[in-house]
Amino acid sequence: MSQQLIEKILSDTASPSEQKEFEIWLNTSEENRKYFKKTKVIWESLNKSFLTKKFSEEAAQINIISKITERKSKLLRIKRFKYISYAASVLILIGLSYFAINRSIRSDKFTQIYSAENSIKQFELDDGSHVWLNKNSVLKISDNFGKKQRKTILEGEAYFEVKPDKTKPFKVFTGNTVTRVLGTSFNLWLDKKNNVTLNVNSGKVEFYKKYMLFNKQIYTSCDMGYFQKDIGKINKSENKGLNYIAWKTGVLNFENTPLHEVCKVLSKHYGKVITTSINQPDYLLSATYPHETLDNIIETICITFDIKTTIEGDTISLFQ
């Protein structure tokens, strides 16, 4: 197994044939699997060491030596030296992979740009995939899209219906996350705080942090993934919400939804700040609003629950 191919596997840039070659190597012997398992452990435990703008081999080696000394103080000196050398070489390889990913993204030119400013727009990509862009959203397409790969960069929110192509995975780089699919439909939203929300409508989706290829998770229909920027973690859960593509369909659905959750949905959908001090469990809304104005929805909610409202600028407050 060449170092170059391992770098491609780590950086998620290997071709299907190279991935197959790697899998064959991985399954050839238990020793190969152990080697790769150790690589994964070091990757997960020390990923913060290389997620920096500049990679320092010397600093990485010092960091590893320190950690190994703490955990393996009773090992013989020669064994410790061999392990340190191994760990340092792996971390250097990971660092090179980090730069390989960066180079891979930077080397691609994204001159084809789709944007939606004041209205929702639909586009058909060169491979036959369909994309709906929400307002104030931008999708950048790689110049080599459809030839050797299908890479895109999303800023904002979009709904994708990806045409299947097993030889060219479809990738969406969104904030600090990567969404990788072969052919499926899903919704992605990058909010103003750089948090990313994934909702899968059909098929299978891989969703993971950049440079954390070993932490990939598979998401299927009705799954939701949420990347929280301030803690750098992805949470997977069941998508119980009915309105993640309401921006696309124009239809809002609520089924026994608590009033404070209704306010959150309305806030996102209409771009307003809608709050309530009411948190009683019996204030549950069941209703469908097809292409309805916010004023009419607020009015029906107030009548339904016999509550009042105040408006100050873009903030709407509901209270008893």
Show the low-confidence residues of the chain (pLDDT under 70): 1-4, 6-7, 10-12, 36, 38-107, 213
Q: Does the predicted model carry a pTM greater than 0.85?
A: no
User: Would you state the pLDDT for residue 50?
Assistant: 47
Domains and CATH numbers, the chain: 3-107 (no CATH), 112-238 (2.60.120.1440), 250-319 (3.55.50.30)
HSE-up of 229 (CA within 13 Å, CB side)?
A: 11
User: Would you state the pLDDT for residue 296?
Assistant: 97
User: Would you state the pLDDT for residue 285?
Assistant: 96
User: Would you state the pLDDT for residue 51?
Assistant: 45
User: Would you state the pLDDT for residue 55?
Assistant: 44
User: Would you state the pLDDT for residue 7?
Assistant: 65
User: How many C-beta atoms surround the C-beta of residue 100 within 10 A?
Assistant: 19
Long-range contacts of 61-66 (CB under 8 A, 24+ apart): 61/88, 61/91, 63/91, 64/88, 64/91
